[in-house]
């Protein structure tokens, strides 16, 4: 039997020992225009955290698709919203999903919230060469449950492209439509009734959909919401007990009410 390693639960160290970098890429001067995914956001409401995003991806002035899911479940108690280059962001999400599950299985317990936050920061730092060249830039929003408090409470974090992490007290947004969304969230938090933190689930979903509808009016890269075309957002809710997805049918129903 081999000697136990102090890094037994560290998936990233396992990759390094086998010289398997999860985000190793080469850049060609003739590379095509990058596909970009925007816009995503998260805010606290009365029951937890709502995380949402439009479903549009663009490449320059071309709309590539309106069917991208930008809010991803990493495990039962954490969500990742991606803004930037989907190819890089989806690979980061897959590495994190595997890392969290590897730790859970090898250590018989879930990774702590601070460790999850640092794991994403580490991937962003490893992507630094691509970021400095303006290729593969990712600016995610992360939400996870802090299980050290009672009752367990979801928290929101946002990152810059170099891997710096910031704790968001009330809300965070990323992507090309983020400026508009942050402005509306700030106004609603200061002067609106109800404030986001006092909204129930129905009010929070309605508010999220309207955020994207307004952002799409000022930003062509934001897909918005179009009930007539059955185009809705990706919306997930994180509570202390876990993750819930708000389906398109439910979104349509709430928009009519």
Supply the residues annotated as catalytic: 38
Please, are residues 30 and 41 in contact by the beta-carbon 8 Å criterion?
A: no
Three-state secondary-structure class, residue 61: coil
The Cα 108–Cα 101 span in angstroms is 10
Q: Token pair for residue 197? A: 């933190």
The Cα 249–Cα 140 span in angstroms is 27
Helix H or strand E encompassing 217 = helix 201-218
The Cα 211–Cα 217 span in angstroms is 10
CA end-to-end distance (rounded Å), the chain: 63
Q: Token pair for residue 28? A: 């060609």
Cα separations in angstroms, 239 against 54, 59, 119, 234, 236: 21, 35, 21, 17, 10
CA nearest neighbour of 25 among 126, 174, 95? 126
Starting at the edge strand found earlier in the chain, the sheet holding 36-37 runs: 36-37, 57-59, 62-65
Cite the DSSP H helix spans in 108-191. 113-126, 128-132, 178-191
């Amino acid at each position: 039997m081999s000697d136990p390693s102090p890094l037994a639960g560290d998936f990233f160290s396992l990759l390094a020992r086998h010289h398997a970098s999860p985000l190793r890429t080469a850049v060609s001067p003739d590379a095509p225009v990058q596909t970009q995914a925007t816009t995503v956001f998260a805010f606290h409401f009365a029951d937890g955290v709502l995380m949402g995003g439009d479903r549009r991806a663009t490449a320059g002035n071309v709309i590539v698709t309106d069917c991208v899911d930008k809010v991803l479940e990493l495990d039962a108690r954490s969500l990742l919203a991606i803004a930037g280059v989907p190819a890089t962001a989806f690979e980061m999400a897959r590495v994190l999903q595997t890392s969290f599950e590897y730790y859970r299985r090898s250590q018989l317990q879930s990774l702590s919230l601070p460790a999850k936050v640092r794991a994403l920061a580490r991937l962003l730092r490893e992507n630094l060469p691509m970021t400095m060249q303006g290729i593969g830039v990712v600016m995610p929003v992360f939400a996870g449950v802090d299980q050290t408090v009672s009752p367990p409470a979801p928290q929101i974090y946002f990152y810059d492209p170099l891997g710096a992490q910031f704790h968001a007290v009330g809300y965070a947004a990323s992507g090309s439509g983020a400026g508009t969304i942050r402005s509306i969230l700030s106004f609603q938090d200061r002067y609106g009734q109800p404030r986001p933190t006092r909204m129930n689930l129905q009010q929070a979903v309605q508010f999220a959909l309207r955020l994207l509808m307004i952002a799409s009016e000022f930003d062509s890269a934001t897909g918005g919401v179009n009930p007539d075309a059955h185009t809705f957002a990706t919306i997930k809710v994180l509570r202390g007990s876990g993750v819930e997805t708000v389906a398109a049918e439910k979104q349509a129903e709430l928009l009519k009410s």
